[in-house]
Amino acid sequence: MCGLEGCAEEFATTFQHLALHALQNPEPSNLCADGTPIEMSMILDNQGRAGLRFVCDTISHSLAAQEKTDLIDRCRELAADAKWKSYPIIIKLHDAHLEHASARTRFHVWYGGSCVRDSPRVAKFYFNVEWLSDFDLEKILVSCVPQRLALRLLKFVSAMDRRPAIVGYDFDPLGLHKVKVYIRFDGLRRLDAIQAGSNFCPDRKEVFEDLLRTLGNVLRSDGCPAMLAVGFLPQRNISEVKLYVPVANWGSPTFRVAAGVLRSALGRWNYASDDLLSGDGPIGFEPTLISVGIDSHRELLALYMKPLLLS
C-alpha cells in the first residue's frame, strides 16, 4: 500500500533480530513510559511519501562489560550492514559516544531502522548524551558533519536553555543521512515551540505554526510534556525541526483519540484519511506519541506506537 516493497524484506528482517534482543532484555526500558523496549511509527509527508520506523532497546545495564561490548557490536551489525561504505563512520561514532558512558544511566544506545518509499533502508542509532559536555559533543558531531552545522545545533539547544538529551544518527549505505538533537521539556508552551521552529527553519515559520494549530489546545499556556528535535540531512543540505507530544495529553492513549488529531493534520494535505484512521488501530498496539514537523521542503507527520507485551 505504501510502496515499500524495495526495502521491506530487509527492514522486516532487521526488526525481527533487534526486537528479539529487546525482548530478551530483562530490565524496564527508558524508551517507552511503561518500560516497553520496542517502539514503532508510521511516517507521512505532504508529498505523498510514507514509511515505517522502529527503535529497540537491546542493551541490558546489568551485563558484564565484555558481554555488553559484544552485544553492542552485534546490534550495530544488525542495524547496519558491515559492507556499507558508511559503516566505518558508524563504528567511530559508537566508540566516541560510549567511551565515557555513565555507569549510573540505564540508557546508552538504542538501535532501529526505517523504510521509506523509493529510498534505501536506513539504520538508526540513538545515543544518550546527557553526561557529555558541549565541547565533547561538538567534537563528536564535527567528526560527521561540518563544524558550522554542529555549532548551529548546539547553539539552538543553548538558546532553549536546555541540555541535549539524545543525539540520533540515520545512516544509509553511502553515508550519514540525518543527524538530530533531541531536547526534553516537562512543560513546553505553544509560543516556545513556534519560536523553536522560527529559529531553526525561519523560512518555514508560518507552515510550522499552521501545523501546530492542528494539534488543538494541547500546548497549553502552562506547557505540556513534549520533546523537540532539530537536525540536518547533510547529503541534501536540508534542515528539520519536529515536535513530539504524548497521545495521553489529549486524553486516553487510544487510536481513536490519536485519529482525531491526525485527521486535522492530514486535512491540510487533502489526504483521504478515513481508511487509514478507521477503527481501533492495529491489534496489540497502543499509540504513544504524535509528531509534527517541517524541513526545508516538506511537512511531516508521524504516529508512534508500542506493542502490548504479555508479562
Q: What is the pLDDT of residues 243-258, one digit of tens each?
A: 999 999 998 888 888 8
Q: Could you tell me the end-to-end alpha-carbon distance of the chain, in angstroms, rounded to an integer?
A: 33
- Of the listed ranges 40-49, 54-63, 200-209, 268-277, the least confidently predicted one is 268-277
What does the alpha-carbon distance between residue 41 and residue 150 come to, in Å, rounded to a whole number?
Answer: 27
Q: What is the pLDDT of residues 113-136, one digit of tens each?
A: 999 877 889 999 999 999 999 999
Across 131-153, average pLDDT: 93
Residue 3 is predicted with a pLDDT of 46
The whole model's pTM is what?
Answer: 0.94
Residue 237 scores a pLDDT above 70 = yes
Q: Band the pLDDT of 143: cuts 50, 70, 90.
A: very high
- Residue spans of the domains in the chain: they are 5-307
